[in-house]
Structure 1
Amino acid sequence: MHDAHAPGHAAVWLSGARVLLAGDMLSDVELPLPFDPDDLPAYLAGLDRLAPYVARARVVVPGHGRPTSDGAARLDADRRYLDALLAGRAPEDPRRANPGMAEVHARLTALAAALCG
């Protein structure tokens, strides 16, 4: 359990099957969606908490988007996106073109600027 997407957000690790049910994280169609109003640090901590399970997972199943056998790529994409925002750079991420993500990106850009400001 962690507070990345929302307080008490949970992921489920099915150890025998090596499947990670990631909840509303590690999506291939949505940008990171931290809890409102401003919890980017908790989201980054949530990614850190998921990392050891992602490394062992045969399959990662996000709440939105498609399951993947390459969870490390999803984790890396979220980290690169957030790291770029926090460094004041515009991240290159294909998910930004998906419906609704322009608004999410604008909100995250403002959150990152306020956090680093």
Structure 2
Amino acid sequence: MENRKRMEKVRRSCGFSNGMDIDAEGTRGGLGLAWKEELKVALRSFSKNHIDDMVKEGNTDAEWRFTGFYGSLYDSNKNDSWNLLRKLGEDKTHPWLVCGDFNEIMYSFEKS
């Protein structure tokens, strides 16, 4: 609960009146999404690795999809992270923006 209060304080100090947080498991992870009042954001799904939302801007009828993503740090779970993203991507009904930390490359020797 302390992390949520801290995240809310940071969010508000940055000028974002709305937001949602997914708690960290242990000392790693945790997700936060923040937005200003002129956006309407509807939660679709979430996990320790993602927050998936529908976004509507201002007075328009147009909606688009936003997914905040946090990939696993561990090699043994990387496939699970990518499979989650593939599953989320099956819905192609709206424009979709995905951003976050994919943690695909952790060390310089992994680059090719």
* Fold conserved between structures, TM > 0.5: no
- TM-score interval (norm. to shorter): 0.3 to 0.5
Q: What TM-score comes out, normalization by structure 1 length?
A: 0.35
Whichever structure has more helix as a proportion of its residues is 1
Higher percent of residues as strand: 2
Give the TM-score normalised by structure 2: 0.36
